[in-house]
Amino acid sequence: MTLRLSHHATGGADAGDAGRRSERGAILIFMALSMTAILMVASIVIDGSQAYSQRRSMQNAADLSALAGARALDAVKYAGANWSTVDAATRDLGEDNKAESVDCTVITNVGTAIGGCQQWWAVISPIAAGVRVKATDVRTTTFAKLTGQETVTASATSSATIQTLIGTGTPFVICGNAQVGGYPILNRDNTINATTATAMGTVELQSAQVPTCGAGSAFKGKIADQDFTVPGWLHADNGNGYEQDINAQVVGGTPCPTGGPFDDCDMLVPIADQGLGNGNDIQMHAVAWAVFHITGSGRTNPKYYGTFRSGAAYVSGGRTNVALPANNATPRVIRIIQ
């Protein structure tokens, strides 16, 4: 018997081979598309998360650089430092915090640009009040380069200015003018005399016998909660009872370390050179700030005592306005404004 393959049988085999080849082609196309999608997802997840972390890192670098630049500007304006230290301070902090480039601009108290931090005339401008810093980092991508994106650039901007302290939440004001019966804290030009203030030891801060600077016997050493600019007039409180919030401030205060720094410890208290009063309306003229270590329970008379620790120029915290400080004795806060 002779076996013959018909034309139809042969044609069927060819069709099967072609079908299998078509299936393999479809699988390859599907795999290629799948790999592309996987790479795109990996690019989004891995490179995207790294880009987010990179952006946060640059914001941190910008904030720290701006604060450093504003502190350096403060030293230029009020301590005679060299103008070139402003740009150097911003770059050093930026590079220490992974910024590839740092661009620094000197600004006014309301954020208007004056000029670059490398320009001496901008740094020493009488209206210079702070700096604006742009920190930038360029990073090579991991997966995104396969889609044509070789690098990711992250930038962040921050501004910091020198601001005038106008309030600290302190409950006390001290008569520091010995010429009107006060404690020997002030010089004749109303600056702090650290020698005589230290020598007086511990003094009464709230009691029926505190020096009044001429405000009258109703003054007991307390201040009404308010914002005020030094030098300037502030309202005092004629009460002498126990107040739990005052006691909490005293008990919760952090003692300053011996020799300082004195910028975020004990209590910053306004020092007055004169006072006015009629019993119900008491005003004290504050001309300076000083750091005092406060003791007392608030339940005896005197209620609180104070020991002079330091005059104060640069401080932390408190409430501020954006007005430029009057001179190097004006308490100042370096703060980010945006």
pLDDT digits (tens, 9 = 90+) for 262-280: 777 888 899 999 999 887 7
Q: Model pTM?
A: 0.67
The answer to whether residue 7 scores a pLDDT higher than 60 is no
Where along the chain do its domains lie?
Answer: 29-161, 169-316
**Among 137, 140, 158, which residue's Cα sits nearest to residue 60?**
158
Q: Tell me what pLDDT residue 22 has.
A: 59
pLDDT digit string (tens) for 278-321? 877 899 999 888 999 999 999 888 999 999 998 877 777 778 88
SS3 at position 100: coil
Do 177 and 286 contact (CB within 8 A), yes or no? no
Q: Tell me what pLDDT residue 319 has.
A: 80
| Structure token digits, residue 74 | 């403060």
26 DSSP assignment: H
Q: Tell me what pLDDT residue 1 has.
A: 39
State the alpha helices, DSSP H only, in 128-193.
none
Q: Which residues pair with 209 in a beta bridge?
A: none
pLDDT digit string (tens) for 45-72? 555 556 667 788 889 999 999 999 999 9
Number of residues that make up the chain: 338
